[in-house]
Structure 1
Amino acid sequence: MSELGLPDTILACLFDLDGVVTKTAAVHAAAWKETFDAFLRAHEGAGARPFDAVADYDEYVDGRPRADGVRTFLASRGIHLPEGAPDDPPDARTVHGVGNRKNELLLAKIRTGGVEAYEGTLRYLEAVRAHGLRTAIVSSSANCRDVLRAVGAEHFFDVRVDGLVAAERGLPGKPHPDTFLAAARDLGVEAGRAAVFEDALAGMDAGRAGRFGYVVGIDRVGQADALYAHGADVVVADLAELGGKQ
């Protein structure tokens, strides 16, 4: 398995979506910033400290289910909102309302700018499949299938565990390992024989907590040290680099 940069014991690969397969992490960060900045101005006034699309996004939001991201970031500012309901309107001052506003902005940005895949990841997926390894996409996004279809990548994955599947099964999201563990079970593979591919710190935490056989961190924003600190076995800038290791 040296040509894939993985231990020979690995039988399956579990991939995050945003920032790993598709170039949507920056779009998510921009949508969160617009959402939180407007909320903070309304809550605290014009002098409110804005959302940091790098530091706050990485620490409190990236990789987490939408509602968890709202709760975690606002709690860091000492703000606690009522939960509300999943179908709350995007102007509701509830956890779900704020989350729905972010999703509304995200979809608008995707419609305007489109979605791109990382070519290095697509080539790596082709190599993984050619070697007979099983594959799953594991994402907190409820838009996962639509995004995969938009970039023509749905066929690369045997199993999909996304925000919709997690809600149906009652699975807690990252940094809990439950969605990755569910994907491994669906593939018929023990966690110790599966590799996790993530760009988010919460994803690293999930890989470590789930005792997966190998955890690959993809560093798109210059946080290699943090990815290692949160449990990565190896960190690469692009999966083409991992695939080139001998």
Structure 2
Amino acid sequence: MAMPGSTGQPTLTLSRVAFDAVLFDLDGVITRTAKLHIAAWKTMFDDYLEQRARRLGETFQPFDPDRDYREFVDGKARHDGVVGFLASRGIVLPLGDPGDPPERESVWGLANRKNRLYLDLLATRGVEVFPSTLTLIRRLRALGFKVAVVSASKNCAEVLRAAGIAALFDARVDGLDLERDRLRGKPAPDSFLAAARRLGVDPARAVVVEDAIAGVQAGRAGRFGGVLGVDRTGHRDALAAAGAHWVVADLEEVAAVPA
């Protein structure tokens, strides 16, 4: 079945002559876990903002699950998302330490609080995947394309295992790699460039597939041969403005051919 806004027919063709690899974002592209992330971010930020407003005698302004998520946290490492959103509200907290408990009022404390909420949701609701994405990945592999998953999430491996799709990828770069190798998070291109190196491909011969503005910006910053935006939430213009070469409503609109 076509997704809303999708034609249901291929409108873009990826040729093996032009490209050697395709690099996929996880949340919102491969899996439907984006809605779990949004719910976890909203619960964490609303709880924190409401408590802060009560303490300071200010008006509580809740986290907007559309605008705030898309502009400040989508596609970014957790602590970067916390910093970006709080800055939009004029709030500055101490960075703290990655080991901060979720109750601590620090950037890392809030980031860890959000992660705890997300993992609880993941455990109770499970992982859904987009069938059209898996169909495209299997087609790409059959044609000799190399395939990687690139995510800011430290839970990427667990999500792939829970969905039973870990074996579909030739390489994985995730939040654990960013921390260990001191890579900058999206919109910097570091994670995608690291994936291209692991695959042994030139970025100019690879396509980045993203649904987040920060991810599209990262693909363009890395000078990848193609950046494909996936618009499942009605933000086609924003993805195009961020630099996507092509924007589709669903990956069923993408075909792959040997030549």
Please give the range of the TM-score, normalised by the shorter of the 2 chains: over 0.9
Match of 1:206 in 2: 218
Residue equivalent to 1:122: 134
> What is aligned with 1:160?
172
Preserved CA contact (<8 Å) 2:100 2:108: yes
Instruction: Say whether 1:63 aligns with 2:75.
Output: yes
Deviation at 1:243, TM superposition (A): 2.4
| C-alpha RMSD of the superposition | 1.7
Task: Find 1:186's aligned residue among 198, 201, 207.
Answer: 198
Alignment: residue pair count: 245
Moved beyond 6 Å, runs of 4+:
none
SS in 2 for 1:5: strand
Cα distance in structure 2, aligned partners of 1:93 and 1:4: 47
Q: 2:19 aligns with which of 5, 10, 33?
A: 10
Asked if structure 2 preserves the Cα contact closer than 8 Å seen for 1:6 and 1:214, the reply is no
Letter in 2 for 1:229: A
> Once the two structures are superposed, what CA deviation does each residue of 1:173-223 show, in whole Å capped at 9, x if it has no partner?
100000000100111111100100000000011011111000000111100
Cα distance, 1:89 vs structure 2: 0.6
* Partner Cα separation in structure 1 for residue 44 and residue 127 of structure 2: 20
Contact 2:230 2:251 in 1 (8 A): yes
Asked if the contact 2:139/2:256 (under 8 Å) is kept, the reply is no
TM-score (norm 1): 0.96
**1:107, distance to aligned residue in structure 2 (A):** 0.4
Residues 207 and 175 (structure 1), Cα distance of their counterparts in 2 relative to 1, 3 Å cut? same
Q: Provide Cα deviations, 1:51-94, integer angstroms capped at 9, x if missing partner.
A: 00011000000000000000000000000100111011101000
Tell me if structure 2 keeps the 8 A contact 1:14–1:196.
yes
Distance in 1 (alpha carbons) for counterparts of 2:138 and 2:59: 50
Counterpart secondary structure, 2:97: coil
Partner Cα distance (2:122, 2:39) in 1 = 11
List runs of 5+ in structure 1 lacking aligned partners. none
Select 2:111's aligned residue among 99, 102, 120.
Answer: 99
Structure 1 residue 47, shift from structure 2 partner = 2.9
The answer (yes or no) to whether the contact 2:12–2:253 under 8 Å persists in 1 is no
C-alpha distance in structure 1 between counterparts of 2:235 and 2:41, whole Å: 20
Are 1:161 and 1:179, in contact at CA under 8 Å, matched by a contact in 2?
yes
Residue 5 of structure 2: aligned partner: none
1:24 maps to: 33
Distance 1:68 1:164, change over 3 A: same
In structure 2, distance between residues paired with 1:34 and 1:119: 29
- Letter of the 2:14 partner, please give it: L
